[in-house]
Amino acid sequence: MNAVSLMYMTAQTVHNWHMTGNHIERLQPHIDSRCFLAGGIQDTNAPDDGKQPKISAQRGPLSLSMVKGTGHDWTHFCEDTAFIYESQEQLLLAVFDGVSGPQNGSGGRAARMAACILRQILQTQPPVTEIQNFFKHYLDRCQNTIAYGDTTAIIVYCAPETAWLWHVGDSLCFIDGSQKNTTHSVGALLTNTLLTAQNGELQELEYGDQLQLGSDGMLTDNYDDSTILCYRP
């Protein structure tokens, strides 16, 4: 089911994902049996009634929430993108926080494109065996494809016996409430982004009871666009 069929719904279930929210259509969810992707692109036909676009979704041990920030008044859509890919062999969770610069929404489009590139790689290649090569290939694809805007990226790749965290920018990873990554920022200034990074930062993770990924908006009480993904193994 594509995003058009979800327009103006406040509750919907698609491929066992149960969703609630306001103006779900502005978050443009794309959902199939393996993928959940939302955010980062504008639906120009959406009505403006003053309600913040937001979505909450859950399927089994996976859940997400995304809210358009009240302080990002230069767009009507969320410049974050959330992406989940699940198969029998692997699970991947990702959050992208668009960086607009001139506040023209280009960061949101870059975030959405970064997620779409990741989806295409996962759908057309066998399960990951060399994690460093996987992320190097992904970074190269993004830097050669995304022509405008920029974005942060935080990605967790889970296989049956291991998990890896890769990130650039100031998005966050928590396991059982403990932050597991060092952000690439000084105050509000980013020191690394998807399109400027040489490698990204890669580290192995130990599973806990709850894994959370989030854009930095999760710390601003919905002033900034906010996205949180949760996985409870």
- The structural domains of the chain, with segments of one domain joined by +, span 3-231
User: For residues 39 and 21, what is the distance between their CA atoms, to the nearest angstrom?
Assistant: 13
CATH topology of domain 3-231: Phosphatase 2c; domain 1 (3.60.40)
CB 128 within 8 A of CB 166: no
Predicted confidence band at 5 (pLDDT cuts at 50, 70, 90)?
very low
| pLDDT tens, residue by residue, 159-187 | 887 899 999 999 999 999 999 998 888 66
User: For residues 206 and 216, what is the distance between their CA atoms, to the nearest angstrom?
Assistant: 23
CB 46 within 8 A of CB 52: no
- R_g of the chain, CA atoms, integer Å: 16
Q: DSSP secondary structure string, 28-48?
A: --EE-SSEEEEESS--TT---
Beta strands 226-231 and 62-67 are antiparallel
pLDDT above 70 for 1? no
pLDDT of 62 reads 97
Q: Which residues contact 43 (CB under 8 A, 6 or more apart)?
A: 3, 7, 25, 26, 28, 77
Indicate the DSSP class of residue 89. Answer: S
Token pair in block for residue 212:
């959370």
∠69-95-42 over CA atoms, to 5°?
Answer: 50
Q: Check: pTM over 0.85? Answer yes or no.
A: yes
Mean pLDDT of the chain: 87
Least confident among 138-147, 203-212, 216-225: 216-225
Q: What is the dihedral of CA 42, 48, 49, 54, to 10 degrees?
A: 10
pLDDT of 42 reads 64
The arithmetic mean of pLDDT across residues 105-116, rounded, is 93
| pLDDT tens, residue by residue, 123-158 | 999 889 899 999 999 999 999 999 989 999 999 999
Token pair in block for residue 73:
């008044």
pLDDT of 127 reads 87
pLDDT above 60 for 224? yes
Predicted confidence band at 44 (pLDDT cuts at 50, 70, 90)?
low
User: For residues 72 and 201, what is the distance between their CA atoms, to the nearest angstrom?
Assistant: 28
| Furthest C-alpha separation in the chain | 48
Predicted confidence band at 6 (pLDDT cuts at 50, 70, 90)?
very low
H helices of the chain, where? 106-124, 131-145
The arithmetic mean of pLDDT across residues 34-50, rounded, is 74
